[in-house]
Chains A and B, each alone.
Chain A
């Protein structure tokens, strides 16, 4: 009933008009959950924004047909278009926290929306609101409705957002990355809710996401987009299981499977990245091998933070980030650390690197005990032996330093190479080793994409000649295909240079691919530690089992 034909959206800029999307075709029937998937920059959000008429200025619809049932969406006046919003088409966004007005109660926001599209009286509207909240799983709705948004947890907030979207009985809901910011368990619930709404109320959904697993779990049909154009469209099982277009095939190749470990991802050889070669750097790194393989042992590690004082009479509450963590990472192996947000994984990384001071416990790197953060001298050997690759490629490189300066800093600081010219050539060689062009040396970080920046970050870490590498969500901010390349890179480097790696991620499938052993962390406590095979095939802890069950994956039967 939603028909899109040949849709083109342009953004005028100083350098001429830029097409965000071009020639997009799509149809969605009532009750259908239609997935719109693609990597960043594909234009998926633009499609949704165009349909509901909320394109970011100065974008405009240059061409195409947009109809909802009998209504030509392009042929409406501004007032009519605003009428349609909420009444027939609604939209929900990624972050439930910022989607709700912090100064208005849930009740006010719901009643206002209901009254905007119907003649209901205030009491009638209120009653409808309460019923709605109960329907979508918020208990005690008549009391909770008087609360403010900040008083709800993330999952509850997203439910409130959904309630706001459906309280006017729309025909179509555009959901733009609705579960990306949520934990796995909550995500699972919200996806079930969407399925229920589509089934019971015959609401059509345009589900925009980059997560293939989500699409596989929930969508009836799917459209794949790339660089503003539609690449393939059809039933989910067919598109994901037996893709016709080479791009879709490459995309599916890059998705890490949850049920098996593959050696290397199949990636199309991109034009930019040279084959990994950097002889000088390789030799230099192999020299460092003389220190042998280094493992890490953690015993009863506990980290407690003191909170802010919020009350005159009570002492500030303590927040236990890590409790009694005991873990052994075998020398030369990759240990995967899995946990959801708030589980303490980043705190663990910070404790090891000395950015955070543990309250109790022991950390042993190789055969030396690591001093706690506040007492660790700035010249302690661990500062060189342990290096880290961070999550956000956009903030891990100093935007005001050239790549050359960023890379030669560890060489200079640790005194490896005295001669500046030699330092530069070693850095250039290292860039080749990680698959970058050596001429990147003179450029600035903003001239590179996310994936390229992560390669540079890896190069920087390696230039300290570490024995132990911590990767803290290194690919969480990257597109699936780029992720595959970086994971390949890490595997290759680890094998060649005998690094021990602690690989931290919330993505179970990624950890499956990378890790020899896996530890599961929840609320600061280790739930389970074992070889990856055991943890994934026959998990012991209840939490691990539910995590695995709730992670959306593509059914095996689809794979050709």
Chain B
């Protein structure tokens, strides 16, 4: 009985934690909205033909002069705000998740190996990480972007925008994964079940992935949520600075940049709707991350 309850303790805690539930709901809603954007949204913000300037600058439905078709108003190009933020969220999530996955694969792989082999290999990986750490995330991302701009011929630059952005963010995040994976691997290496496996003569790859990896997933999962939030924020920041996604395929960050122009002139919704949406998304991810961290750290309970 106690064992059963212990196994599902995580579930119990979740059900009794109001903030976690709310966060999960919000996050799910946003994610679902992003996935089904093309079905829900009125217009496709990337399809220049689907909206017109005549519909531009309409306020949300509760203000005067609104068009009930566009519940949250439209921006200066005539794009429906709801559609814009749903598509924007989708882009933010795609980039964030892809970058996260790449960073995780590289980081955990290197970290595991560094922890397992130690010695020279570990020293080399750590030096690389040191250098990377000397350049903060934004810097790395900006650099990669700048380099891409310099190397790639202008013709395909636009098409590769998303890929470059993803790569830039991934390269700035892998170090987190690597360091955590390495530290937790070191701890596991001292445990006797690992020594038993090595003694038996198991291949290193089997020891690392079948034996050690399942035991270090906990802290890695926590990092994943935190870094997902970071990745999304990073992309938003880059887009805001004008280096990220352009206005014709906008992410939430781009929308905020556009909206800033209208801050003083009264069309507040163009700025604040995407902003609130972004904040809601990231806050819910962070709450879930905190929650996960508490589950995996039994001492704090």
Direct A–B contact present (CB less than 8 angstroms): yes
Interface positions, chain A 376-431, Cβ under 8 Å from B, are 377-380, 383, 388, 390-392, 395-401, 409-410, 413
Residue of B nearest to A352 (CB): B199
List the B side residues contacting A447 at CB < 8 Å.
3
Partner of B193, one of A355, A380, A396: A396
A15 at the interface (CB under 8 A from B): yes
The answer to whether B199 and A399 have CB atoms under 8 Å apart is: no
Chain A, Cβ-Cβ closest to B195: A355
Q: Is B192 in contact with A392, judged by CB distance below 8 angstroms?
A: yes
Whether B121 sits at the interface, judged by CB under 8 Å, is no
B200 within 8 A of A: yes
Q: List A476-522 residues whose CB lies under 8 Å from chain B.
A: none
Cα-based distance from A102 to B231 in the complex (angstroms): 39
Q: Is B198 an interface residue (CB 8 A)?
A: yes
A256 within 8 A of B: no
Most buried by A among B191, B193, B195: B193
Question: Which chain B positions have C-beta within 8 A of A560?
Answer: none
Q: Decide if B193 touches A398 in the complex (CB within 8 Å).
A: yes
Task: Kindly report which residue of chain B lies nearest to residue A445, judged by CB atoms.
Answer: B193
Q: How far is the CA of A313 from the CA of B201 in the complex (A)?
A: 40
Contact B195 A400 (CB under 8 A): no
Does the CB pair B201–A413 fall under 8 Å? yes
Complex-state Cα separation, A388 to B200, whole angstroms: 10
For residue B5, which residues in chain A have a CB less than 8 angstroms away from its CB?
15
Docked-complex contact B196 and A396, CB < 8 angstroms: yes
Q: Does A203 contact B (CB under 8 A)?
A: no
Residues B52-66 near A (CB distance < 8 A): none
Which applies to chain B's interface (DSSP): helix, strand, loop or mixed? helix
Q: A396 is contacted by which of B192, B198, B214 (Cβ under 8 Å)?
A: B192
Q: For B198, what are the chain A residues with a Cβ–Cβ distance below 8 Å?
A: 355
The docked-state distance in angstroms from the alpha carbon of A391 to that of B192 is: 8
A355, B201: Cβ atoms closer than 8 Å = no
Cα of A277 to Cα of B5 in the assembled complex, Å: 33
Among residues 1 to 23 in chain B, which have CB atoms less than 8 Å away from a CB atom of chain A? 2-3, 5, 12
| A395 touching B200, Cβ below 8 Å | no
B149 at the interface (CB under 8 A from A): no
Q: How far is the CB of A455 from chain B (nearest CB, A)?
A: 16
Please measure, in the bound complex, the distance between the C-alpha atom of A529 and the C-alpha atom of B164, giving whole angstroms. Answer: 69
Name which residue of chain B comes closest to A472, CB basis: B192
Contacts of A380 in B (CB 8 A): 201
Write out the residue numbers on chain A whose beta carbons fall within 8 Å of the beta carbon of B127. none
**What residues of A have a CB within 8 angstroms of the CB of B12 in the complex?**
14
A397 B3 Cβ-Cβ under 8 A: no
**Nearest CB on A from B295, distance (A):** 14
Q: Kindly report which residue of chain B lies nearest to residue A413, judged by CB atoms.
A: B200
Cα–Cα distance between A410 and B196 once the two chains are bound (Å): 11
Q: Are B201 and A353 in contact (CB under 8 A)?
A: no
Minimal beta-carbon separation of B202 from chain A (angstroms): 7
B215: interface (CB < 8 Å)? yes
User: Contacts A354-B199, A383-B200, A413-B201; is A400 near B215 (CB within 8 Å)?
Assistant: yes
Kindly report which residue of chain A lies nearest to residue B206, judged by CB atoms.
A413
A321 interface hit (Cβ, 8 Å):
no
A400 CB contacts on chain B under 8 angstroms = 214-215
Contact partner of B199 among A15, A353, A401, CB < 8 A?
A353
Kindly state the separation between the CA atoms of A377 and B12 in the bound complex, as whole angstroms.
48
Residues of chain A within 8 A (CB-CB) of B2 are 15
What are 30 A-B interface contacts by the 8 Å CB criterion? A14-B12, A15-B2, A353-B199, A354-B199, A377-B201, A378-B201, A378-B202, A378-B203, A379-B201, A380-B201, A383-B199, A383-B200, A383-B201, A388-B196, A391-B192, A392-B192, A395-B193, A396-B192, A396-B193, A397-B193, A398-B197, A398-B215, A399-B193, A401-B211, A409-B200, A410-B200, A413-B200, A413-B201, A447-B3, A460-B196
Give B residues with C-beta under 8 Å from A.
2-3, 5, 12, 191-193, 195-203, 211, 214-215
Task: Apart from A377-B201, A447-B3, list 4 A-B contacts with CB within 8 A.
Answer: A388-B199, A396-B191, A396-B196, A401-B214
